[in-house]
Amino acid sequence: MTTALREELCRIGHSLYARGLTFGSSGNISVRRPEGGWIVTPTNVAMGDLDPGQLSILDENGNWIEGPKPTKETFLHTAMYGARRDAGAVVHLHSTHSVAVSVLEDIDPADVLPAITAYYVMKVGALRLIPYFRPGDPALGSTVAGFAAKHHALLLANHGPVVAGADLRSAQYATEELEETAKLFLLLQGHKIRPLTPAQAEALKTRP
Ligand SMILES: O=C(O)[C@@H](O)C(=O)COP(=O)(O)O
Ligand SMILES: [Zn+2]
């Protein structure tokens, strides 16, 4: 099982990198292990170079116990899991349009992007903006912990998205949907838009 999870994590990292959704050695991914603890990406490794045999292992307390040195955002991932007991995976990227939106003045920190499409509402919901912290600053962990229970998708100001999902695929797809919606939002700047109404958005919470 762990071997399959390691391979899946790397396949997703390679795919994200190949499609230009994160660059250089930016971004990090983690997944919960069925036997306890987490598999996380090592620090300073490009998503395109992830190797299933070279991933970091954390125990159930978030301590590094095996493999190469984990991402410097380990506390960010563990803060997400701490607040969301149902989360099985977390993805953080530097996807361009999401980062661009994170820099805009006059966005609503409680709900950064309008409900442009149904798919966005279903995959992301209310996107919370987190104030700027230097990457790797442990103070980011406590701030994130305060919002993550209500929001599985967070946008770190002047940095990028962090998204939790039930499993790797869910976290990946939600992060990709966030990036595409950020792109649409930027494309629509200067245009009058007609987002979904609150009633239309609310109706998406129940399955047809
Ligand atoms: O922006 C940063 O520096 C980190 O958040 C990041 O994306 C990559 O850091 P590592 O995972 O430690 O390589
Ligand atoms: Zn980052």
Domain extents in the chain? 2-205
Predicted-complex ipTM score = 0.99
Percent of the chain surpassing pLDDT 70: 99
- Tens-place pLDDT, residues 87-102: 999 999 999 999 999 9
pLDDT-derived band at 206, boundaries 50, 70, 90: confident
Of 17, 81, 119, 132, which is the active-site residue? 119
Query: Is the beta carbon of 2 within 6 A of some atom in ligand 1?
Result: no
Mean pLDDT, residues 46-50 taken together: 98
Mean pLDDT of the chain: 97
What is the pLDDT, as a whole number, of residue 202? 94
In angstroms, how far apart are the furthest CA atoms of the chain?
53
State yes or no: pLDDT of 1 exceeds 90: no
Query: Is the beta carbon of 43 within 6 A of some atom in ligand 1?
Result: yes
What is the pLDDT, as a whole number, of residue 188? 98
Query: Is the beta carbon of 28 within 6 A of some atom in ligand 1?
Result: yes
Instruction: Return the best residue to mutate from 9, 17, 25, 156 for the ligand 1 pocket (most ligand atoms within 8 A of CB).
Output: 25
State yes or no: pLDDT of 74 exceeds 90: yes
Q: Please, what CATH class does the domain formed by 2-205 belong to?
A: alpha beta
Query: Is the beta carbon of 26 within 6 A of some atom in ligand 1?
Result: yes
Q: Which residues contact 8 (CB under 8 A, 6 or more apart)?
A: 31, 168
**Which structure tokens are listed for 196?**
């979904």
Tell me the HSE value of 112 on the side-chain side, using a 13 A CA sphere.
31
What is the pLDDT, as a whole number, of residue 2? 86
What is the pLDDT, as a whole number, of residue 207? 66
CA-nearest residue for atom 8, ligand 1, is: 26
Contact predicate 83/95, CB 8 Å:
no
Mean pLDDT, residues 39-68 taken together: 98
Distance CA 148, CA 125 (A): 13
119 belongs to the catalytic site: yes
